[in-house]
Structure 1
């Protein structure tokens, strides 16, 4: 995992996230987020998801699930984002720093079955 601080990339986004995992990199909006263990664990979970799906299919499924949530489930941007099954897993397990040691392969697909995920980003 390579951590890159790049505020310019995030300024181009309308609603920028705190970080982003683009295998093998973790891009951070703020330099101080290098010390945010919860955020880094969240992004490490995404890196594992990307490896399991051989990277490119992860991005296809991620965008497809977001669009499905927006168009067919009539959710706003935030609801659609938090309801992506990859995000569900990452948000639920971001506080468990041993999670990746015990995580089963393709565990994120179990989150497809869950409905009405109601979690907001912890500050």
Structure 2
């Protein structure tokens, strides 16, 4: 999983993104942040399980549903099932070695 630095990523809170098969980060120091990289690697696994494009579609649909539910973009983002799985397991650096397939479903 190649990590690419792109200082032109848009957004104040947006410092990185998993775009199969890459992780794109705003700053080279993030390449050394094991927790951050693990979070993005979890997203790469989710993307692979859903054959990439359906992941993005489901992510967007769930974000819209959560936005209508919470009426707050930050809360909507944090309650997307894919993000819940990644945030809850990002500090567990061996998580992907033990993770069961389609594990994000339990976060719906």
TM-score range, shorter chain: over 0.9
CA separation of 1:80 and 1:15: change in aligned 2, threshold 3 A: farther
Query: TM-score of the superposition, structure 2-length normalised?
Result: 0.96
Q: What is the aligned residue count?
A: 108
Q: 1:40-68: per-residue Cα shift (whole Å, max 9, x none)?
A: 00000000000000000100000000000
Q: 1:38-96: per-residue Cα shift (whole Å, max 9, x none)?
A: 0000000000000000000100000000000112x033111010000000000000000
- Alignment equivalent of 2:73, drawn from 59, 77, 80: 77
Large movers: runs of 4+ above 6 Å: none
Q: CA deviation at 1:31?
A: 1.0
Query: TM-score of the superposition, structure 1-length normalised?
Result: 0.84
Say whether residues 1:31 and 2:28 are aligned partners: yes
Partner of 2:5: 5
1:20-99 pair list within 5 angstroms: 20-71=17-68, 73-99=69-95
Q: CA deviation at 1:15?
A: 3.8
Q: 1:12-58: per-residue Cα shift (whole Å, max 9, x none)?
A: x3444221000001000111111100000000000000000000010
Runs of 5+ consecutive residues of structure 2 not aligned to the other structure: none
**Secondary structure at 1:21 match in 2:** strand
